[in-house]
């Protein structure tokens, strides 16, 4: 594709094609789609728009490559992943700039995402060598009982736009570490980071066909090809709960294994003995990272009544201190929402709350001019009837509700079909244990606003998903266990 299709400021050698079997190539029909900057609404690039035909080509390449890649040694895979980690760290600034341009998040935050993304590659480069099997004591002397752990096979990875680097490495790195070949479909809103990461995998020596990438504006068509073929043995997806439920239905025909990280509705429980300085700092991180566009973003601020007035005042001061603007502008802490519908959803939640008696404490409006900016907002007197209390807002809105006793706060926090992340703040060890054990969530941040890390399992309960990413569990998700009973050994 001609360089004129890449805006100034992007890497001039950025691949904007499909990666299939180690070759960069256009879509079979030559179609492309545009990628835009949510801060300026200007076109950044045009990338290949894959279809079912391209998805099938990528699948054939992954199947063919697996016959060799699945037999490589753990040490070989560890070295390739180690080289990929080094390449990502060396290109840290370029990757962060790509993330900011296509996603909108502030550059400092994008740099943090690159480091987070790289940490998964480093972790699974090491874990690749620890996919241990075992020997089970037999009940007779002429038998040996073995358990082998082998790669599950071809993996389809479908990733979201809100963390365009980290959500890729959190899935792709453990799959490659296990010896699986990968079909990657990044979000159409943020494909540029994925393209650059794939280019770095090639530069690190990753074998042809081990990672195949299909950019597309036809997500369902591409996913249907992969879900409709039994040679794809694993699907890993991060996105909305309705799409995850559809993937479950479609995977049933071939009983494909699934890892699903779906929607969240995170409570942020503040007890009246909380360290308020620490709590507000955690609120800044958990609520305004990526402008609130995170599945683990705090969504419902549940504050014990004795702390309510002071917490509300500090929340108002927090949003007043935040600088909103384009992510490449120095000092900006909150960038744009990803697109116009994303911004409108937040505005709808605000208006719904105000229409039902909530009080506007700060913000509440879209900012004028180009880009999908919205003023960080605080609303108080929020009740369970309001949409913000049972829908994921995905934006910079602090919605405050009050409770009286600890058990009341727990009941409010658990009153959700979602169970991804929860946050709780208290100085009491007894209260902390009670909260940690009683919150019905896969991740709990106790006096902590940023619990995610490569070495710990990440995933949700209830409608928030299946399986875990990160930690030793992240590698397990891409391995099959094979029991071998070896007889006739009496000699």
CATH number of the domain that residue 314 is part of = 3.40.309.10
- Beta strand 134-136 with 182-185: parallel, antiparallel or unpaired? unpaired
Residues 292 and 255 occupy one common structural domain: no
Whether residue 250 sits in one domain with residue 271? no
Q: Does residue 491 lie in a domain region?
A: no
Q: Which of 109, 180, 295, 392 is catalytic?
A: 295
Whether 295 is catalytic: yes
Supply the pLDDT for residue 109.
98
Q: Give the pLDDT of the chain (491 residues) as one tens digit per residue.
A: 343 468 888 999 999 999 999 999 999 999 999 999 999 999 999 999 999 999 999 999 999 999 999 999 999 999 999 999 999 999 999 999 999 999 999 999 999 999 999 999 999 999 999 999 999 999 999 999 999 999 999 999 999 999 999 999 999 999 999 999 999 999 999 999 999 999 999 999 999 999 999 999 999 999 999 999 999 999 999 999 999 999 999 999 999 999 999 999 999 999 999 999 999 999 999 999 999 999 999 999 999 999 999 999 999 999 999 999 999 999 999 999 999 999 999 999 999 999 999 999 999 999 999 999 999 999 999 999 999 999 999 999 999 999 999 999 999 999 999 999 999 999 999 999 999 999 999 999 999 999 999 999 999 999 999 999 999 999 999 999 999 999 999 86
470 falls within a domain? yes
Q: Is 180 a catalytic residue?
A: no
Query: Is 361 found in the same domain as 333?
Result: yes
Beta bridge partners of 154: 232
Same domain, 288 and 311: yes
Residues 80 and 73: their CA atoms lie apart, in Å, by 11
Same domain, 299 and 428: yes
Token output for 115: 């480091």
C-alpha 252/C-alpha 260 separation (Å) is: 14
Return the bridge partners of 230, or none.
none
Distance of CA 490 to the CA centre of its chain: 52
d(CA 49, CA 191): 11
Same domain, 179 and 51: yes
Which residues fall within 8 angstroms of residue 476, CB to CB, at 6 or more apart? Answer: none
Classify residue 196: in a domain, yes or no: yes
421 found inside a domain: yes
Residues 283 and 223 in one domain: no
Please indicate, yes or no, whether residues 258 and 270 belong to a single structural domain of this protein: no
d(CA 279, CA 186): 34
Q: Are residues 199 and 104 in the same domain?
A: yes
- Residue 459, in any domain of the structure: no
What are the backbone angles phi and psi of residue 341, rounded to the nearest 5°?
A: -60, -35
Distances (CA, A) of 69 to 153, 158, 175, 233: 10, 21, 11, 15
Query: Of the residues 102, 261, 333, 469, which is catalytic?
Result: 261
Asked whether residue 211 falls in the same domain as residue 305, the answer is no
Alpha-carbon span 483 to 486, nearest angstrom: 10
Q: How many whole angstroms separate alpha carbon 375 and alpha carbon 363? A: 5
**Whether residue 293 is found in the same domain as residue 256:** no
Question: Do the domain assignments include residue 488?
Answer: no
For residue 462, the model assigns a pLDDT of 98
What pLDDT is stored for residue 491 in this prediction?
Answer: 67
Q: Give the pLDDT confidence score for residue 490 in this predicted structure.
A: 85
CATH number of the domain residue 251 falls in: 3.40.605.10
* Count of domains observed in the chain: 2
What pLDDT does residue 4 have? Answer: 42
Please provide the size of the chain in residues: 491
- Whether residue 184 sits in one domain with residue 319: no
Distance CA 274, CA 45 (A): 47
DSSP string, 107-171: HHHHHHHHHHHHHHHHHHHHHGGG---EEEPPSSTT-EEEEEEEE--EEEEE--SSSTTHHHHHH
In a domain, residue 490? The reply is: no
Q: Which helix H or strand E contains 19, and what residues bound it?
A: strand 18-20
| 329: containing domain | 266-453
Coil, helix or strand at residue 474:
helix
pTM score, whole prediction? 0.96
The verdict on residue 460 lying in a domain is no
- What 3-state DSSP class applies to 274? coil
* CA–CA separation, 134 and 147 (whole Å): 5
Q: From the centroid of its chain, how far is CA 411?
A: 28
């Amino acid at each position: 594709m001609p360089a004129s299709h890449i805006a100034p400021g992007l890497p001039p050698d950025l691949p904007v094609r499909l990666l299939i079997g180690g070759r960069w190539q256009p879509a079979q029909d030559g179609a492309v789609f545009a990628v835009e900057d949510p801060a300026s609404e200007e076109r950044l690039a045009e990338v290949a728009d894959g279809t079912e035909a391209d998805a099938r080509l990528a699948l054939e390449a992954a199947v063919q490559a697996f016959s060799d890649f699945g037999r490589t040694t753990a040490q070989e895979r560890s070295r390739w992943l180690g080289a990929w980690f080094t390449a990502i760290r060396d290109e840290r600034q370029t990757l962060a700039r790509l993330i900011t341009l296509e996603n909108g998040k502030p550059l400092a935050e994008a740099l943090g995402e690159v480091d987070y993304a790289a940490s998964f590659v480093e972790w699974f480069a090491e874990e690749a060598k620890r996919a241990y099997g075992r020997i089970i004591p037999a009940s007779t002397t002429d038998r040996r009982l073995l358990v082998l752990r082998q790669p599950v096979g071809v993996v389809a990875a479908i990733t979201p736009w809100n963390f365009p680097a980290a959500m890729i490495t959190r899935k792709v790195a453990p799959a490659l570490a296990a010896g699986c070949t990968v079909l990657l479909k990044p979000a159409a809103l943020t494909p540029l980071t994925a393209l650059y990461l794939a280019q770095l995998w090639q530069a690190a020596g990753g074998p042809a066909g081990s990672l195949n990438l299909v950019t597309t504006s036809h997500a369902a068509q591409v996913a249907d090809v992969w879900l409709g073929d039994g040679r794809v043995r694993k699907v890993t997806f991060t996105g909305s709960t309705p799409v995850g439920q559809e993937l479950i239905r479609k995977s049933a025909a071939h009983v494909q294994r699934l890892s699903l990280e779906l929607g969240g509705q995170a409570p942020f429980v503040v007890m009246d003995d909380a360290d308020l300085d620490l709590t507000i700092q955690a609120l800044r991180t958990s609520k305004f990272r990526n402008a609130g566009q995170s599945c683990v973003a705090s969504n419902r601020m549940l504050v014990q009544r004795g702390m309510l007035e002071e917490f509300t005042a500090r929340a108002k001061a927090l949003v007043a201190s935040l600088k909103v603007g384009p992510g490449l502008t120095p000092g900006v802490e909150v960038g744009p929402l990803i697109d116009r519908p994303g911004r409108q959803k937040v505005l709808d939640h605000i208006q719904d709350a105000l229409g039902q008696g909530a009080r506007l404490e700060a913000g509440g409006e879209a900012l004028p001019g180009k880009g999908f900016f919205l003023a960080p907002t605080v609303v108080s007197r929020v009740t369970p009837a309001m949409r913000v209390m049972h829908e994921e807002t995905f934006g910079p809105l602090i919605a405050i509700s009050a409770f009286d006793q600890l058990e009341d706060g727990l009941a409010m926090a658990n009153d959700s079909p979602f169970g991804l992340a929860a946050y709780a703040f208290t100085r009491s060890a007894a209260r902390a244990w009670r909260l940690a054990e009683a919150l019905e969530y896969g991740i709990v941040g106790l006096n902590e606003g940023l619990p995610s890390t490569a070495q710990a399992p990440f995933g949700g309960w209830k409608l928030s998903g299946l399986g875990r990413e990160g930690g030793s569990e992240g590698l397990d998700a891409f391995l099959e266990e094979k029991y071998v009973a070896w007889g006739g050994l009496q000699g």
